[in-house]
Amino acid sequence: ASAAQLAMLRELRANCRALDDSVMTGEPYRYVSAATPEERNAADAIPAAAESQRALRAYADLVTSGAVGAGKPPASEPMVAPDAWTNPAYTRFSLKTLLAVLICYVFYNAVDWQGVHTVMLTCLIVALPSLGASTQRALLRLSGAAVGSALALFMVVFIIPHFDDIAGLLLMALPVVALGAWLMAGSERISYAGLQVMFTFSLALLGEFGPTTNLTEIRDRMVGILLGVCVATFVQMSFWREGEGDALRQKLATLLRAIAAQLRPLQVGAEKGDELPYAQRQLQAWAVLADCETTLSRVALEPGWQEGEQSQLTLRAQTVLAQGREIMLAGDALRDKLVAQAASSSPRTIDAVRSAQEQASAELNRYADELAVNPPDAHSPRRIEIAAQAVEPAQLADQPLIAAADELSRQIAGLPDWRVEAPVAAPASPAVRA
């Protein structure tokens, strides 16, 4: 490494230590800058160091602006939603949940089968605002309860007859508790199943002060959970179905607009001062992408009779998400190359690449607007060709920059046609196949 790069690396190490001290002591973080401008520019020769340097500067600016470390407690959500008495969706949700619980209550009292009392509790647990979220919670409850009941049944039949002390109880219970805790530590898509594994196993095996030999309780609990899921799902599908298909399209449009804002070219001379807004836009885009993926996982589980429309919605949404991820990565790569080669590339090439960024942002905004309308009428964005008008073939130094711009244009053109009459093709992105 050169002397300038070594000085930059020392400054980066000092700032990492300052960040560590800030986290340990709770004091606001301040970026320590002792290097000359030439030494700071040397960070561009080491991409990982340059990214770390920009991230530390962005975080220091965020702390200085008061957005981080202000000491204000987060505002708690009100117990009652502001539109609870005016929005009819709350009334419909309450009536559907009440009807499901009432049906289950009348059933288990009419048949005098008190062991299936979990049928009412299941109706309340799986009652969530959307049909997809309710189905997801129902599947997690069923799978978790089935695993917990199967483990409890195995312990009662094969293990309990051979143990009669506390050591045997610990050997039986701790592995199951560890399994449930491991599942609960995962993502929210599976964490509830871990809770059900532990809860069902504990009720079946630890409900008494002595060894358990009653298998009827395990059977009755599973029957109650299954009946509760069936009744709750039937009621939610029969009255005021609340899907998230339209909400998913709106979130996808918001994602594309966030990506379009991220793709806008930097102004000349603003590369250093615009780090904080760009970092914020990048974080916002990835957060919206994660929210869209969570919503899509619920929409894919929505039961319905219109299977064709549901599969088209799911496939197109998966394609948009995969291409959105690729577009963000291609946009970041193009921006890094544009900053690194701003001094060595020809002005004509720089202007052509910036023009391509503007056109890409405009195409994404247009696609998002057409996707947000009902019914959607989003046409695939057009391919932006810049290689022929940017440089002559002899100027090979500009080819990496042109290749990055072409890759961005190719990824944007891969967005699917989202129209009622448009055929649905399998996504061709490597991320989707993975």
- CA 340 → CA 44, 266, 333, 337, 392, distances in Å? 6, 13, 11, 5, 21
Helix (H) or strand (E) holding 75: none
Q: 221 and 327 share a domain?
A: no
Which token pair is 6? 């070594």
Q: Which long-range contacts (CB under 8 A, 24 or more apart) does 364-370 make?
A: 364/256, 364/257, 364/259, 364/260, 364/263, 364/327, 364/412, 365/256, 365/257, 365/260, 367/256, 367/415, 368/252, 368/253, 368/254, 368/256, 368/257, 368/260, 369/253, 370/418
- Residue with the bigger pLDDT between 323 and 83: it is 323
pTM here is 0.66
Full residue range of the structural domain in which residue 291 is found? 253-433
Say if 311 falls within a structural domain: yes
Closest CA to 353 of 268, 259, 253: 268
Say if 178 falls within a structural domain: yes
Using the structure block, give the residue that is written with the tokens 């790569």.
Answer: 333
Q: 217 and 314 share a domain?
A: no
The number of distinct structural domains making up the chain is: 3
Q: 277 and 423 share a domain?
A: yes
Q: 301 and 427 share a domain?
A: yes
Helix (H) or strand (E) holding 323: helix 307-340
- CA 383 → CA 333, 356, 412, distances in Å? 18, 10, 8
End-to-end CA distance of the chain: 38
Closest CA to 387 of 374, 375, 404: 404
Q: 210 and 355 share a domain?
A: no
Assess whether pLDDT exceeds 70 at residue 246: yes
Q: Which tens digit of pLDDT belongs to each residue from 348-380?
A: 777 888 888 888 888 899 998 888 887 788 888
- Residue with the bigger pLDDT between 277 and 87: it is 87
Residue at a domain's end among 238, 269, 289? 238
Q: Which tens digit of pLDDT belongs to each residue from 195-207?
A: 999 988 988 888 7
Assess whether pLDDT exceeds 90 at residue 277: no
Q: Which tens digit of pLDDT belongs to each residue from 123-160?
A: 988 888 888 888 888 899 999 999 999 999 898 888 88
Q: 198 and 321 share a domain?
A: no
Say if 245 falls within a structural domain: no
Say if 322 falls within a structural domain: yes
Q: 51 and 98 share a domain?
A: no
Using the structure block, give the residue that is written with the tokens 């770390």.
Answer: 52
Q: Could you tell me the pLDDT band of residue 74, with boundaries at 50, 70 and 90? A: low
To 10 degrees, what angle do helices 166-184 and 191-205 make? 160
As a whole number of angstroms, the distance between CA 254 and CA 247 comes to 11
Is the link from the previous residue into 375 a cis peptide, with omega within 30 of 0?
yes
Q: 429 and 403 share a domain?
A: yes
Say if 12 falls within a structural domain: yes
- Residue with the bigger pLDDT between 398 and 338: it is 338
Best-predicted range by mean pLDDT among 250-254, 333-337, 342-346? 250-254
Q: 183 and 321 share a domain?
A: no
Residue at a domain's end among 209, 238, 267? 238
Say if 234 falls within a structural domain: yes
- Which of the 8 DSSP states describes residue 426? -
Residue at a domain's end among 238, 268, 287? 238
Q: 354 and 284 share a domain?
A: yes
Q: Which tens digit of pLDDT belongs to each residue from 182-225?
A: 999 988 788 889 999 998 898 888 877 777 777 888 888 888 99
Q: 273 and 416 share a domain?
A: yes
As a whole number of angstroms, the distance between CA 352 and CA 184 comes to 51
Say if 246 falls within a structural domain: no
Closest CA to 69 of 22, 120, 8: 22
Using the structure block, give the residue that is written with the tokens 């020392």.
Answer: 10
Q: How far is CA 406 from the centre of its chain?
A: 28
Q: 189 and 260 share a domain?
A: no
Best-predicted range by mean pLDDT among 78-82, 86-90, 262-266, 427-431? 86-90
Say if 71 falls within a structural domain: no
